[in-house]
Amino acid sequence: MIIILFRSRLTEDAGNDYRRMDSELDRIVRNQPGFIDVKSFTSSDDERLTVVWWKDQKSLEAWRNLPVHKEAQETGRARWYKYYNMEVAEVVRTSNFEKSKK
């Protein structure tokens, strides 16, 4: 499994066009082969963290090369992001726990 950690901060120019693209990409990514899940969080200082789980590197590469995703990347660098930092990691172990329902 591959995990993407995407930390970012938006510019003031990230308005309705950003929200539309974000919504469109969310819809598209959820239907991509190998996609597992995505969660986004915003800290008190407005830095954002998006975590994306992929089945494997091949699935991630297919997503990375989609034309609509490439368009969003280009627009993001030109208008929407003050900065971003992306880390790609391979999961070497998982552990799960869930309290039983009584």
Q: Per the domain annotation, does 97 fall within a domain?
A: no
Number of compact structural domains in the chain: 1
The average pLDDT across 85-92 equals: 97
Q: Per the domain annotation, does 45 fall within a domain?
A: yes
Q: Residue 6 belongs to what H/E stretch?
A: strand 2-10
Residue 101 pLDDT: 86
CATH number at residue 31: 3.30.70.100
Q: Per the domain annotation, does 31 fall within a domain?
A: yes
How far is the C-alpha of 83 from the C-alpha of 8, rounded, in Å? Answer: 6
Q: How many CA atoms lie within 13 A of 75 on its CB side?
A: 15
In terms of residue numbers, what domain contains 14? 2-90
Tell me the per-residue pLDDT of 23-33, one tens digit each, with 9 for 90 and over: 999 999 999 99
Tell me the per-residue pLDDT of 43-62, one tens digit each, with 9 for 90 and over: 999 999 999 999 999 999 99
DSSP-derived secondary structure letter, 44: T
* Residue-averaged pLDDT of the chain: 95
The model carries a pTM of: 0.88
**3-state DSSP call for residue 90?**
strand
Q: Per the domain annotation, does 98 fall within a domain?
A: no
